[in-house]
Chains A and B, each alone.
Chain A
Amino acid sequence: MTQEHGQNALLPTNEDTCGPYFPIYFRDESLEDLTRIDPGVLAGASGQHIILRGRVLDRHGDLANGVVMEFWQANAKGVYRNPSSAGHPDIDPWFDGYGRLRSDTGAYKFRTIMPGASADRAPNITVTIFSDGINRIVTQIFFADQPGNDTDPLLSALDEADRPKLIARHDGRTVDGAEVYLLDIIMAGDGETPFFDDFES
């Protein structure tokens, strides 16, 4: 690791692979569907329900079984729930914005709400992937035909050919009204998804 340290900074523990056996026991259903607080509770997040789904693929185009995916996003009004937004009038009390799932097969499906645009950012969801063979890798997913995609600073920083790799395409609507978006994440090789460095940036 070559990250910069302040003078008195402690040396970081190395990240390591989560391996193939991340316990399914740690699964939390309330983190797999952010449109509701907990199954059966009559409360839920404001906003357009969406389903983000797709496959996580390896260098050979095979499904990456056993991946753990974490999601982080703003609420429908574009506000992230973190210490800097404490007391913000547009906080949604029923929405934390953090999700997690483990996919046995490498195919994933995450139900949430469409994040709002914020400041100069297009709607997006940050996705963290843990899997056997790698440490944490991070990227951000956008949505087709959303205002702001053309001027988003992250998308704009990429080569033109790489931008579509982060934009989920619209794939219809479920009977209960969720808009479906589809994006495959390619961990390595041809068509590789751009991943971002939150140590060096």
Chain B
Amino acid sequence: MTKLGRQIGIGPTDNTSDQRTPRQRLRLIPESARESFVPYVPARYTTRAHEWDLTRISPDRPRADGSPIEVTGTVRTESGAPVRNGLIEIWNANHYGRYRHVEDGSGLPLDENFFGMGRVLTDENGTYKFWTISPGAYLARPDIGRWRPKHIHLSVSGGSSRLITQMYFPGEPNNASDPMAILMGDAFERNLGKPYETPDIDVDQGFRFDIVVGGRNATFFE
């Protein structure tokens, strides 16, 4: 059987996905060109102090509105190797579903105590931790009443591992109708944070989100 590149799916009810999804199958890369398709991100990452705690703009400011949560997990490749000293860039909407982004024209309220962007590095075991405010869902398509479910964006860069993904929350009513979740099918479950109790720390709840960076690029130099 001749191997083919993937045909990318178009997210249902997602206008931007319709406008921007390549219609042709992805092309296979000849083996002699394969290594050139493995970007290797230089380890010159920076994070600022307190960027791991998105629940406050700075340590001397009050907590943002909504429910503070912790997110922890590991970043590994498919072979199980930890992605060490990897950069995770994090962004999520505030309690009301609004991003502090100049292009978010939703009109939902900003929260003067919520910035909504942070960075953390994974440690030697590929482990990471951050705090944020449980994000609000927001109406993405008012014309058809489609919501974007609560989600946190995570961008992972480390060595030849590269992944942009989102963590969703279990049991949310809008998960099933989300265009990208629909494309994931049963594998959507992998993108759900797993709740845990946090009796000893100053957040309402924890979510375990173990990340596996797939594909040959991530393991290319292992």
Contact = CB atoms under 8 A, between A and B. Distances in A.
Interface string B68-79: 000000001111
Tell me the dominant secondary structure on chain A's binding face.
loop
B115 to A, nearest CB: 8
Q: Which of B23, B37, B117, B191 has most chain A Cβ within 10 Å?
A: B37
A173 interface: no
A161 interface: no
A6 B79 contact: yes
B5 A18 contact: no
Contacts, number: 242
Interface in A21-53: 21-26, 30
A130 interface: yes
Interface string A136-155: 11101000000000001110
B17 A134 contact: yes
A20 interface: yes
Contacts of B17: 17, 133-134
Given A12-B213, A201-B34, A19 B191 contact: no
Contacts of A196: 5, 26-29, 37
Contacts of A135: 8, 164
B46 to A, nearest CB: 8
B91 A22 contact: yes
A158 interface: yes
Interface string B147-167: 000000101000110111110
Contacts of B187: 1, 11, 14
Nearest to B211: A13
A13 B163 contact: yes
Given A11-B190, A13-B163, A134-B8, A158 B19 contact: no
Given A23-B89, A66-B103, A14 B191 contact: yes
Report, nearest first, the 4 A-B pairs whose CB atoms are least far apart: A12-B214, A133-B16, A197-B5, A72-B39
Interface of B: 3-6, 8, 11, 14-24, 26-42, 44, 76-80, 89, 91, 99, 101-104, 117, 119, 153, 155, 159-160, 162-166, 180, 184, 187-188, 190-191, 211-217, 221
Given A14-B165, A96-B44, A195-B27, 18 more contacts: A9-B78, A12-B212, A13-B214, A17-B166, A21-B99, A23-B91, A59-B18, A59-B23, A65-B103, A72-B39, A96-B42, A119-B32, A133-B15, A133-B18, A135-B164, A188-B21, A188-B23, A197-B26
Interface of A: 1-3, 5-6, 8-26, 30, 58-60, 62, 64-66, 70, 72, 74, 80-84, 96-98, 104, 118-121, 124, 126, 128, 130-138, 140, 152-154, 157-158, 187-189, 192-201
